[in-house]
Chain A
Amino acid sequence: MAAPASPAGRPRLASLILQRKTLVIGLIVLTVIALLAILAPLIAPYSPSRLSVVNRLKAPSERWFFGTDEFGRDVFSRTIYAGQLSLLVGAAATALAAVLGITLGLMAGFFRRFDGVIARIIDAMMAFPDILLAISLVAALGPSLATVIVALGIVYAPRLARIVRASTLIIRELPYVEAARALGVPTWRIMTRHVLRNLVSPILVQASFIFAYAMLAEASLSFLGVGVSPEIPTWGTMIAGGRQYIGQADWMMLFPGAAIVLTVLSLQLVGDGLRDLLDPRLRKDL
């Protein structure tokens, strides 16, 4: 049942969002995590790189909420600082995947002459397991923060391209697109104003899942030591660092891992909620 409309349309959307419990929970958790990461310099009780050898491997307590690591650094401060980079990599990789995926998908769907080649490239790219393709790309480009973002952007672009292509193939045949063409509207304008605007919902839903996958993949790459440098705190590098102290100080890997789980879970809740909200036909559990 549609919620009451308003002239501005905003209260209607807000009430629709509020009706979806999972979406609200996902958005709240994600906002809290993002705020903790952004405001880390204000919230963190210690500098993430402050060494204190006398306080090494201390268990969680009132003084060190998440304990300390092998160099006596505060795990809580490092976890919220690491959130900055982990979220940045996820968001940047998603943005790059969106730009590449939307461009390829629109070109394949709109111009028949490109379709065969692009569709085949999409199929071939999807045949590579994501982590394997990502580490191969990072190996080829050289490990750094930027190459991890580029690699993950390339790995996840085909998922969006496939959705955009399929929808464009349908939309380009609709009467209003034909009418726009007959009126002499330039192709790029038809693509952006008439086609892309109708694809916002599926793109948004897919982007939230790609964000989640990209964060998991970044953590895996950092853990394997083929992503960002081990000195840079991300949740993945923190878990890798805690691995050898698993018997003595399991908090070193427990808390950054829990941060990944919470973030990915909230992104999935947002993705599922958006899917239900924006396109009921795409619901997975009808």
Chain B
Amino acid sequence: MTRYVMQRILGMLAVMFTVVTIVFIIVRVAPGDPAAVMLGPDATAADIAGLRSRLGLDQSLSTQYVLFLGQMLRGDLGQSIFLNMPVLSALAERAEPTFFLTLFSILIASAIALPVGILSAYRRGSLFDQLATTFAMFAASIPSFWLGLILIQVFAVRYGWMPASGYGGPDASFLERLRHLVLPALALGIVSSALITRFTRASMLDVLNDDYVRTARSKGMGEWGVVMKHAFKNALIPVLTVVGLTAALLISGAVVTETVFSLPGIGNLVVSAVLRRDYPVIQGALLVIAALYVLINFLIDMLYLAIDPRVRY
């Protein structure tokens, strides 16, 4: 088992090394001079030369790559051109809304998907199952930003129950800030619940016909116990995987949703960085989010080892 864990850690490092290389390439494939693009048409030749040297763009590609790798190893993501601060600090400053938005979205998605998926599998072929399957397919087809706009129209503009945008200002209490996250989290949560519902249903269908479930029933165990204690517990592992991966993918959804709701999170930061061609921020955000995804994947694998006695390497 230790060998497997070591192998996974090495594999994770190899993927991260490739991720860093891809990010390096993405910024360098930009046609023309990135420094000139970043500074815009009004920049003087001296400004451009200054930025080129600050970013190390005046050196050979191989030197740039080695310097870039060294910088990443030190955890230095560079300096934002427009915010005039380290990229890591800019990301950290914006992490709170994104973290809570992701957390609430995953809670809402699970609160919808787990009961619907379990009941849908238990009553396979029933009207409920058909409705649940239709819901899952429908939810997966909705762009989260469009759903966000509909929620704003209904709950903020028409009824005025919820704030339409923002994060409550700098002096807002924690509760007030959370209130601003209700609609965006609903928009993301409903859309993300589609995948988890489908996985829960499929995973439950797999285990509901297993021998141990039949044995539990033949021992006279109540249906609730059979479904929750025996079936769901075993169906939980693949479901956990998809919940974990959805959490990582939600960061992608947050990019768009934060823009709809003007939330000052990492997603919003990335979009403004793209519009202003602030390459160090784009680069840093890509790296941090990809690293989170790889790490979550690794942690899920380790969780498998810890909770499922059948998984042995």
Instruction: Give the most central of A129, A141, A242, A243: most B CB within 10 Å.
Output: A129
Which single residue of chain A is at the shortest CB-CB distance from B142? A261
B282 A223 Cβ-Cβ under 8 A: no
Determine whether the beta carbon of A132 is less than 8 Å from that of B251.
yes
B232 CB contacts on chain A under 8 angstroms: none
Complexed CA–CA distance, A205 and B29 (Å): 32
Given A224-B259, A243-B149; A129-B198 close (CB under 8 Å) = no
Given A136-B282, A140-B27, decide whether A246 and B157 contact each other with a Cβ distance below 8 A. yes
Contact B137 A269 (CB under 8 A): yes
Chain A, interface residues (CB within 8 Å), range: 35 or more
Q: Bound complex: CA of A139 vs CA of B28, how far in Å? A: 11
B256 within 8 A of A: yes
Q: Which residue of A lies closest to B273 (CB)?
A: A139
The answer to whether B252 and A129 have CB atoms under 8 Å apart is yes
CA of A246 to CA of B294 in the docked complex: distance in angstroms? 39
Does A278 count as interface, using CB distance less than 8 angstroms? no
Q: In the complex, are the beta carbons of B143 and A125 less than 8 A apart? A: no
Interface status of B127 (Cβ within 8 A of chain A): no
Is the C-beta of A112 less than 8 angstroms from some C-beta in chain B? Answer: no
The residue from B18, B137, B205 contacting A123, defined by CB atoms under 8 A apart? B18
Q: Is B15 an interface residue (CB 8 A)?
A: yes
Check if B109 is an interface residue, CB within 8 A of chain A: no
Which of B75-83, B174-182, B284-292 makes up part of the contact surface? B284-292
Nearest CB on B from A25, distance (A): 11
**Known contacts A132-B270, A135-B255, A223-B256; A261/B145 CB under 8 A:** no
A-B contact pairs, 23 of them (CB 8 A): A124-B15, A124-B21, A127-B293, A128-B293, A131-B252, A131-B253, A131-B255, A135-B255, A136-B26, A139-B274, A139-B277, A141-B30, A223-B143, A223-B145, A224-B271, A239-B145, A246-B152, A246-B157, A257-B146, A265-B137, A285-B133, A285-B198, A285-B201
Question: What 5 A-B pairs have minimum CB-CB distances, sorted nearest first?
Answer: A129-B252, A124-B18, A257-B146, A264-B141, A265-B141
Q: Which residues of B contact A (CB under 8 A)?
A: 14-16, 18-19, 21-22, 26-27, 29-31, 133, 137-138, 140-143, 145-146, 149-150, 152-153, 157, 198, 201-202, 205, 248-249, 251-253, 255-256, 259-260, 270-271, 273-275, 277, 279, 282, 285-286, 289-290, 293-294, 297
